[in-house]
Amino acid sequence: MLKEAIKRQRSLSRYLCHIYQRVHQGDLSLVTGAGISIDAGVPGWVGLLDRLAEKPSELAKDIEHHKSKGLSPEYLGQILYHRQKSGIGPEVPAKLREAQLSNEWATSIQKAIYRDVPNNHADILSRHPFLAELRDFSRKLSLIINFNFDDILDEAIGQQIKLSAPGNGRPFTVVWNPPLVERPETTTIYHVNGVLPRISLKKRSPQLIFTEDSFEDAMLRSPGVSNEYVFLRFVQNTVLIVGHSLSDRSLKSYLRRNREKAPANHHYMIYWISGDDAFSKTQLQDVFDANLELYNLITIFLTSSEIRDFFHILNLDVREFRDAIDSIEPDRRHRFHYYVAGPVAVGKSSVIEHLRCFNTFEEWTRPPPEAMYRSFKTLSPEEEKEVDDFVYLELKEKNLRMCDAGVGFHFMDRAPLDLYAFSNNETENAEKTRILEDRVTRDKDFQQGEIVFLEASGDILEQRNLGRGRVPDTSGSAAYLNEQCARIKSIYNPRIALSTEACSPGLLAQAIARIALMGPYEPKNLTEIMSKYKTPIANETVDERDVVADAPKESSSD
């Protein structure tokens, strides 16, 4: 199951883990295109145009000519629409001509779409390689954005609900206008271009976005409701695109705008291939790199049977999903933990804010005491104790949450061993280690994780503190902040170190997200690092015989 696809794309199992995580967080939306219906007998857009142009034969010849001149499908649709409009006879009253045109146009498209589609839904399901799995996956989601006119997926969901026991599964609705009220417990299929049901007696949308002018009208009205509604889903959610070739201008616009607005938020697209010999590795990489840089889009190359297996895995319960990942992933890993570390004012919280497309843990689970915001060198013994008590309790709670985190990617603001950077000597470090072992890791070791270290010069950090109203006398001078940065970095010896001086938090988060989703994962054993700060207890009993036995012998020549 997907083993060949894993060979083709080493990070596929990570993509599955992230998508699975987002589904169960309620933050994944599905975008579907014509490709999901082709196996049911529905033509693609060019094929649909050809069917609409079949009669009369002169029209088919003219459309072929226009196509050879490079006219876009939308423009060809405009020509076909105009021919249909000019064919309405004078016997139709003027007040009914627009309605008559709309009805004839929609009817001709509906007939062309379903001409080769079986009449029985069971036959559709049996001939389609992954419709059943896609149907089950769709029912887990609150929103599906469907660019198709056909209702093949809608009908599959409806038929399953009809055959299910009452109350089994979430409700389901089909709309062609953006929902005014969010319905997280309902699966909503939003046909952004309109819908023409297979069963002609079902209600169809009053408008179809098919021709050049209708596309322009849709773009012009975008500030109203529709486009902004869809765009927000691209910014706030993770989107999985299936059956789409990125030929739709509005879809590409959503992806580009998301890349600018939320740089760390990466979406996924399933790119259908006929087999491993369809593209060379270099050609696959070309497509992958272009989509990543242009649209923040991760491209997953799958055959039809692999698409079925892909959705099958995503439909499993948590335990079955973990077992499935173990069977296909060489590292047998379904959880990825990251600690975002660095000195005060370096930008950790700002970067975490841009990483909400994963699971994130805040800097603190409760409001910290006022003394936390000052340089530790200015604190009284009472204030130090207050800070220490707060920190140890927070470290325990945050570690428990990190250890209990499920499938997917988890980012924590701050790493748990930062407190060593604020010690005055090794004796103090040893005492902190004793307390950590007693109060924090007594029941559970620190969760291992990759360290993402953020750094900046002391001068920059001092400027940022001043901008927040923290003066050097209390929050630390540039020299102190340089020392703090060096100390924290030396604790973790991180593989990933990024400067925040000349890069926005969004672009830093984008780089971190790509490392997490596509780069190597090398978690640090934080409990092991902590143990290095132990020192021998002064009053420990020593066996003098061992000391004598291990002492260097004097040379006979001395």
Q: Which domains does the chain have, with CATH numbers?
A: 3-42+121-328 (3.40.50), 46-114 (no CATH), 335-531 (3.40.50.300)
> What DSSP string runs through 199-213?
STTS---S----SHH
Determine whether 477 is exposed, middle or buried from the number of CB atoms within 10 Å of its CB (0-12, 13-18, 19+): middle
Q: Residue 308: which pLDDT band, with cuts at 50, 70 and 90?
A: very high
Residue 212 predicted with pLDDT over 90 = no
Pairing of strands 143-146, 187-191: parallel
| Mean pLDDT of the 241-267 span | 92
Report the alpha-carbon distance of residue 140 to residue 25 in Å, rounded.
11
CA separation for the pair 130, 121 (Å, rounded): 14
Q: Count CB-CB contacts under 10 A for residue 554.
A: 7
Asked if pLDDT for residue 452 goes beyond 50, the answer is: yes
d(CA 220, CA 217): 5
Residues 492, 446: contact at Cβ < 8 Å?
A: no
Q: pLDDT band for 211, please (50, 70, 90 cuts).
A: low
Residue 203's CB is within 10 A of a number of other CB atoms, namely: 9
Burial of 510 (0-12, 13-18, 19+ CB in 10 A): buried
Q: Which of 99-113, 512-526, 538-552 has the lowest mean pLDDT?
A: 538-552
Give the pLDDT score at 189.
95
Summarised one tens digit per residue, pLDDT across range 439-448 is: 999 999 999 9
Give pLDDT tens digits for 17-61: 999 999 999 999 999 999 999 999 999 888 888 998 987 788 889
Q: What tokens were used for 556?
A: 């006979």
**Comparison of pLDDT for 131 and 537, the residue scoring more:** 131
Query: What pLDDT score does 217 carry?
Result: 55
Name the more confident of 267 and 232.
267
Cα distance between residue 476 and residue 462, in whole Å:
7
Q: Which residue has the higher pLDDT, 249 or 406?
A: 406
**pLDDT beyond 90 at 90:** no
pLDDT at 547 > cutoff 70: no
Cα-atom radius of gyration of the chain, to the nearest Å?
30
Does residue 360 contact residue 413 with C-beta atoms inside 8 Å?
Answer: yes
Decide if 539 contacts 498 (C-beta within 8 A): no
* SS3 per residue for 289-332: HHHHHHHCEEEEEECHHHHHHHHHHHCCCHHHHHHHHHHHCCCC
CA distance 219 to 232: 16
Length of the chain: 558
| Mean pLDDT comparison of 49-58, 171-180, 309-318, highest-scoring range | 309-318
Whole-Å CA distances, 121 to 41, 188, 307, 452, 468? 12, 21, 21, 51, 63
Q: What angle do CA 225, 186, 407 make, to 5 degrees?
A: 105
pLDDT at 216 (0 to 100)? 52
pLDDT at 209 (0 to 100): 82
Name every residue whose Cβ is closer than 8 Å to that of residue 332 and which is 6 or more positions away in sequence. Answer: 325, 326
CA pair distance 167, 169, nearest whole angstrom: 6
Which of 219-223, 337-341, 376-380 is the least confident region? 219-223
Residue with tokens 């995580």: 21
Q: Are 506 and 538 in contact (CB under 8 A)?
A: no
SS3 breakdown of the chain: % helix, strand, coil, rounded to 5?
A: 50, 10, 35
Q: Which helix (H) or strand (E) holds 336?
A: strand 335-341
Q: Give 555's DSSP letter.
A: P
The model's pLDDT over 483-510, given as tens digits with 9 standing for 90+, comes to: 999 999 999 999 999 999 989 999 999 9
